[in-house]
């Protein structure tokens, strides 16, 4: 472990001055869809930024100015690398020279729906080897309330070092929305809460140098809870509208028309939309961090569990919808060619994490269907018992049934409606088209 530098009363003042003058050495641990955009914003703001990632291929691509994150064009990344503002490494020894570190590593769920903290723990173990006085550490990985104080702080604590005086520790929830052209890292308000008020102020000062708006809160627990509330709100409301979609399906009511009409109310209603299931790293996962934490406190998170159950049933609902649509044409699922249009978890991105398309494909495959797919963003699907190459979009018309699971903007829906014998639309992508061959969710 590195020797701890001598602490003086000027530690906070010196760090704050480095941040204000943008001479602080900034570090970002985890160069994924959260970490790389954050590193880019601070490099653009004039800081020297070091990205640390255990993936050698990722660090090699960053150092070559070759972006693998959709929201960061290589044309944006390359000049920052060439100017020396941004570099990447797999060596945590770089922490010795850093003044600030943002931890942006994955926080998945185990199969038991318990939090998997291994990435946070392993990152903090490495950081602790080179940790020194005068540092600002900010955890951004989504987690349960209490993680920063109960897990991260003890790993960084040193005899003679006082948090809020000699080093600074905060939590700031990532709010990245991949593929969103309007809201990205720079202009999404940044919530930050520290272990102490001095930590919060240091975190606020740091983010204010590169991001448009910073929202300080009173503690790390409040900041941790903010992210869980945001995604639990979405998960529960999506679960509600998915249940409404199932009800409307049974009653022969067009759920999309219902939502559009309800959305004309100027108060008291916010439209959410049904779909084939939840995808991505946040909404299907984050609420279960809250559910797990509340169980530790003896509280049952009934809304979360119920919404999770309903959302988890949607791929089955889609598979049943496809089977019923084929039955109406006198065709069985077994042996029928079913083409999936779009497999990413949301439109216009390449992210497959938790994508409901995978469940839909597996369910149809298990019922005997011959499954194929088209997705210009995902050239191959090789997981969960599937191993398929993306087919040209035009091949969809040769299938017995096309299922729109992800409504990429680039798809030619007019041509699809003209040529496909049967379409099951789970995203209302064909709104405005009229055909007896279209079956809506």
Q: At what angle are helices 286-296 and 220-251 packed, to 10 degrees?
A: 110
**Other C-beta atoms within 10 Å of 227: how many?**
24
DSSP conformation letters of 221-245 = HHHHHHHHHHHHHHHHHHHHHHHHH
Q: What CA–CA distance (Å, rounded) separates 118 from 111? A: 14
Q: Do 140 and 220 touch, CB atoms closer than 8 A?
A: no
State yes or no: is 248 an active-site residue.
no
Contact 101, 128 (CB under 8 A): no
Q: What is the DSSP string of 50-104?
A: EEE-S-HHHHHHHHTT---STTS-HHHHHHHHHTTSEEEES-GGGGGG-SEEEE-
Dist CA 387 CA 403 (whole Å): 18
- Would you give the distance in Å from CA 180 to the centre of its chain? 12
Distance of alpha carbon 435 from the chain centroid: 36
CB of 156 closer than 8 Å to CB of 123 = no
Q: Return the closest-CA partner of residue 396 out of 422, 435, 427, 369.
A: 422
Give CA–CA dist 7/163, Å, rounded: 12
- The catalytic position among 199, 282, 401, 440 is 282
Sequence-distant (≥ 6) Cβ neighbours of residue 17 within 8 angstroms:
none
Cα dist. 80→94, 204, 316, 327, 352 in Å? 19, 24, 46, 57, 29
User: Which residues are known to be catalytic?
Assistant: 282
């Amino acid at each position: 472990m590195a020797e701890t530098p001598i602490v003086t009363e000027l530690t906070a003042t010196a760090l704050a001055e480095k941040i204000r003058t943008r001479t602080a050495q900034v570090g970002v641990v985890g160069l994924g869809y959260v970490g790389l955009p954050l590193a880019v914003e601070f490099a653009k703001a004039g800081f020297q930024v070091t990205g640390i990632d255990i993936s050698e291929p990722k660090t090699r691509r960053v150092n070559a100015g070759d972006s693998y994150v959709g929201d960061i064009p290589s044309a944006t990344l390359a000049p920052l690398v060439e100017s020396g503002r941004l570099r990447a490494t797999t060596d945590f020894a770089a922490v010795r020279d850093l003044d600030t570190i943002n931890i942006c590593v994955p926080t998945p769920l185990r199969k038991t729906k318990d939090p998997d903290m291994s990435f946070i723990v392993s990152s903090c173990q490495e950081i602790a080897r080179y940790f020194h006085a005068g540092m600002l550490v900010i955890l951004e990985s989504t987690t349960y309330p209490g993680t920063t104080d109960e897990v991260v702080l003890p790993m960084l604590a040193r005899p003679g070092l006082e948090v809020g005086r000699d080093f600074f520790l905060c939590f700031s929830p990532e709010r990245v929305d991949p593929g969103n052209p309007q809201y990205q890292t720079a202009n999404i308000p940044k919530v930050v809460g520290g272990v102490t008020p001095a930590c919060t102020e240091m975190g606020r000062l740091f983010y204010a140098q590169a991001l448009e708006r910073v929202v300080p809160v009173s503690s790390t627990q409040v900041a941790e809870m903010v992210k869980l509330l945001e995604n639990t709100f979405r998960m529960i409301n999506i679960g509600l509208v998915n249940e409404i979609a199932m009800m409307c399906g049974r009653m022969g009511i067009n759920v999309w028309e219902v939502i559009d009409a309800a959305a004309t109310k100027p108060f008291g209603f916010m439209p959410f939309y049904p779909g084939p299931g939840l995808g991505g790293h946040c909404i299907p996962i984050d609420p279960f961090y809250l559910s797990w934490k509340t169980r530790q406190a003896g509280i049952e998170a009934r809304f979360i569990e119920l919404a999770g159950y309903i959302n988890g049933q949607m791929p089955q609902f889609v598979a049943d919808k496809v089977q019923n649509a084929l039955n109406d044409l006198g065709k069985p699922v077994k042996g029928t060619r079913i083409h999936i249009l779009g497999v990413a978890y949301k439109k216009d991105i390449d992210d497959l994490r938790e994508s409901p398309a995978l469940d839909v494909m597996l369910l149809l495959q298990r019922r005997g269907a011959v499954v194929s797919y088209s997705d210009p963003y995902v050239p191959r699907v090789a997981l969960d018992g599937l191993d398929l190459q993306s087919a040209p979009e035009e091949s969809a018309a040769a299938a017995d049934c096309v299922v729109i699971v992800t409504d990429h903007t680039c798809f030619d829906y007019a041509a699809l409606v003209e040529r496909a014998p049967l379409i099951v639309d789970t995203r209302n992508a064909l709104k405005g088209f009229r055909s007896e061959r279209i079956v809506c969710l």
